[in-house]
């Protein structure tokens, strides 16, 4: 039986979602899969908790610092001394794990383990064919390293940028971002609305900010929706943040805006919506494109989300509100112009890749078959 090791990291939910999607798809192909969290299991649980706490604190209180760090990291090579050894964290235990598990194939869904495996190969460790799956619509220097057999990327634009940075074209495959299998199954908007108790006679605006809703600007969106003087229905998803949910409930009390906590079936919410107001996480963009739900991007964090936002605007799949003052006028425009929403859907229809998970698994297994 073929053995595959998937290495992820718990910085943002998208990496782990991608890892779980790929693991389930490999298992459907009768492949033995092991999923490892790089920082928690190969560095140290305390480092994992403390670094994630610092990461979220910076994003909440000083997001511009994260943006500066992200831009600086894109300026330097992944093996630069200026990384202060961060990209080599966990390599010793990772090498021991590779020796113990003896996987036939390795897949990484985060930049740090991708570079760590490349470092092991450079040091002479036997490393099986290694595929890295880029989970944003961005080519960033910290993903780029020698000894990576294949890059699976979200869009041709990312492929072109990686090639421009020196990656051989045959190593870069456009697959899309791996998303949950239910997103490849169509859902009728009318049926989704009926199941959610929504009317078909008024537009539906969905607002989200990832599983950690506090990192977005959902209170701004809730106030804007509650103040709009037109028939509409709103769904504002707070995620796991109970305090944020209470705040949003208070802000929308007495309106047609409904506040929800964490929702497992996001696909149904997207199918019911005329437009999704959200920040530009890579996984969110991929899922919205799969369902063909038009996007209004607002509150994207500096760093990869702002880069994702620029991609979405250039690709014609999203409108962007840079400031709070722009949010209401853009919402009014989208709800007044059905042809604009259809234009966004048409662009999504051309670019979406709901079968990304299957394509990645097929490419990884094909590569493994050729090397054996």
pLDDT digits over 46-69, tens only?
A: 877 888 788 888 888 888 998 998
Q: Is 105's pLDDT higher than 60?
A: yes
Element (DSSP H or E) covering residue 350? helix 338-351
pLDDT band at 80 (very low <50, low <70, confident <90, very high): low
Instruction: Give yes or no for a contact between 205 and 234, defined as CB atoms under 8 angstroms apart.
Output: yes
Phi, psi of 218 (to 5 degrees): -65, -35
Instruction: Kindly state the average pLDDT of the residues 10-37.
Output: 92
The dihedral sign for the CA sequence 27, 146, 11, 262 = negative
pLDDT given for residue 321 in this prediction: 96
Q: Is 17's pLDDT higher than 50?
A: yes
**What does each C-alpha distance from 143 to 54, 93, 309 come to in angstroms?**
22, 20, 19
How far apart CA 318 and CA 313 sit, in angstroms, is 5
**Confidence (pTM):** 0.91
pLDDT given for residue 86 in this prediction: 67
pLDDT given for residue 372 in this prediction: 41
> What is the tens place of the pLDDT at every residue in 22-35?
999 999 999 999 99
**What does each C-alpha distance from 130 to 40, 172, 279 come to in angstroms?**
21, 12, 31
Q: Rounded to a whole number, what is the largest CA-CA distance in the chain?
A: 66
Q: Is 213's pLDDT higher than 90?
A: no
pLDDT given for residue 305 in this prediction: 95
pLDDT above 90: percentage of residues in the chain: 70
Residues sharing a CB contact under 8 Å with residue 84, sequence separation 6 or more, in sequence order? none
> What is the tens place of the pLDDT at every residue in 108-150?
999 999 999 999 998 888 999 999 999 999 998 888 988 899 9
Instruction: Kindly state the average pLDDT of the residues 142-170.
Output: 93
Instruction: Give yes or no for a contact between 73 and 134, defined as CB atoms under 8 angstroms apart.
Output: no
What is the average pLDDT score of the chain? 90
DSSP-derived letter for residue 320 is: E
pLDDT given for residue 369 in this prediction: 47
How far apart CA 341 and CA 317 sit, in angstroms, is 9
Ordered structural domains, the chain, with CATH: 3-179+354-371 (3.40.50.2000), 186-351 (3.40.50.2000)
pLDDT given for residue 143 in this prediction: 87
């Amino acid at each position: 039986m073929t053995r595959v090791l998937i290495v992820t990291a718990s910085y943002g939910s998208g990496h782990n979602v991608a890892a779980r999607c790929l693991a389930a798809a490999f298992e459907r192909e009768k492949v033995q899969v092991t999923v490892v969290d790089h920082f928690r299991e190969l560095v140290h649980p305390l480092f994992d908790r403390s670094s994630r706490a610092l990461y979220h604190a910076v994003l909440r209180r000083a997001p511009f610092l994260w943006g500066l760090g992200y831009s600086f990291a894109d300026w330097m090579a992944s093996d630069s001394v200026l990384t202060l050894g961060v990209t080599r964290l966990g390599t010793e235990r990772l090498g021991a794990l590779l020796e113990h598990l003896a996987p036939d194939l390795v897949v990484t869904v985060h930049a740090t383990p991708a570079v760590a495996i490349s470092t092991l190969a450079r040091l002479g460790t036997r490393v099986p064919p290694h595929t890295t799956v880029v989970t944003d619509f961005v080519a960033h220097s910290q993903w780029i390293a020698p000894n990576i057999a294949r890059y699976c990327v979200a869009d041709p634009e990312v492929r072109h940028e990686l090639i421009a940075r020196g990656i051989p074209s045959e190593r870069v495959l456009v697959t899309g971002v791996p998303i949950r299998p239910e997103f490849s199954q169509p859902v009728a908007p009318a049926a989704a609305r009926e199941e959610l108790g929504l009317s078909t006679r008024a537009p539906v605006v969905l607002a989200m900010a990832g599983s950690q809703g506090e990192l977005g600007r959902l209170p701004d969106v809730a106030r804007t929706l509650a103040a709009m003087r037109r028939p509409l229905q709103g769904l504002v998803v707070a995620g796991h943040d109970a305090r944020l949910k209470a705040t949003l409930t208070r802000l929308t009390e007495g309106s047609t805006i409904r506040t929800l906590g964490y929702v497992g079936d996001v696909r149904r919410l997207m199918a019911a919506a005329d437009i999704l107001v959200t920040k530009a996480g890579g996984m969110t963009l991929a899922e919205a494109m799969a369902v063909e739900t038009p996007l209004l991007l607002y509150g994207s964090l500096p760093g990869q989300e702002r880069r994702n936002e620029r991609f979405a605007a250039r690709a014609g799949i999203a409108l962007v509100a840079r400031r709070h003052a722009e949010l209401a006028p853009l919402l009014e425009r989208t709800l007044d112009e059905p042809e604009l929403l259809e234009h966004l859907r048409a662009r999504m229809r051309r670019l979406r890749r709901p079968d990304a998970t299957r394509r990645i698994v097929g490419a990884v297994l094909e590569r493994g078959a050729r090397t054996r």
